[in-house]
Amino acid sequence: MDGNSRVGAIIPTSIAGPEDIAPAARFIEDAGFAEIWVAEDYFFYGGMSTAGLVLEATESIQVGLGIVASVARHPAVTAMEFATLDRAYPGRFLPGIGHGVPAWTKQMGLYPKSPLGVLREVATSVRRLVEGETLDESGNYTFNSVTLTHPSPGMKILGGVVGPKSLQMSGELMDGTVLSVLAGPRYVEYSIEHTSRGMAKAGRSGDHLLPTFALFAVDEDGDAARAAAKGVLAFYLFAVGPTPLTGVYDANPALIDMIQRGGPEAVAEEMPDEWFDQFAVVGTPAECTTKIEGLRAAGASSVVLFPVSPDQSRAQLEIASREILPNIGN
The verdict on residue 254 lying in a domain is no
pLDDT digits (tens, 9 = 90+) for 52-64: 999 999 999 999 9
pLDDT score, position 330 = 58
pLDDT score, position 16 = 67
Do residues 209 and 301 make contact, with C-beta atoms less than 8 angstroms apart?
yes
pLDDT digits (tens, 9 = 90+) for 148-186: 999 999 999 999 999 999 999 999 999 999 999 999 999
The verdict on residue 1 lying in a domain is no
The verdict on residue 168 lying in a domain is yes
Residue 9, CA distances (Å) to 79, 184, 195 in order: 25, 17, 24
The verdict on residue 249 lying in a domain is no
Q: Could you tell me if residue 109 is left (phi over 0), alpha (psi between -120 and 50 degrees) or otherwise beta?
A: left
pLDDT digits (tens, 9 = 90+) for 63-107: 999 999 999 999 999 999 999 999 999 999 999 999 988 888 999
pLDDT confidence bin for 2, thresholds 50/70/90: very low
The verdict on residue 61 lying in a domain is yes
Q: Is the confidence at residue 15, as pLDDT, over 90? A: no
pLDDT digits (tens, 9 = 90+) for 306-324: 999 988 999 999 999 999 9
Average pLDDT score, the chain:
95
The verdict on residue 16 lying in a domain is yes
The verdict on residue 265 lying in a domain is no
Rounded Cα–Cα distance for residues 228 and 149 (Å): 49
pLDDT confidence bin for 5, thresholds 50/70/90: low
pLDDT digits (tens, 9 = 90+) for 185-232: 999 999 999 999 999 999 999 899 999 999 999 999 999 999 999 999
DSSP state of 179: B
The verdict on residue 251 lying in a domain is no
How many folded domains does the chain comprise? 1
| Domain CATH for 201 | 3.20.20.30
pLDDT score, position 3 = 37
pLDDT confidence bin for 49, thresholds 50/70/90: very high
Sheet holding 211-218, edge to edge: 158-160, 93-98, 62-69, 35-38, 6-11, 302-307, 211-218, 281-283
Burial 272-308 (b: 16+ CB within 10 A, else e): eeebbbbbbbbbbbebbbebbbbbbebbbbbbbbbbb
Domain residue limits at 20: 6-228+278-327
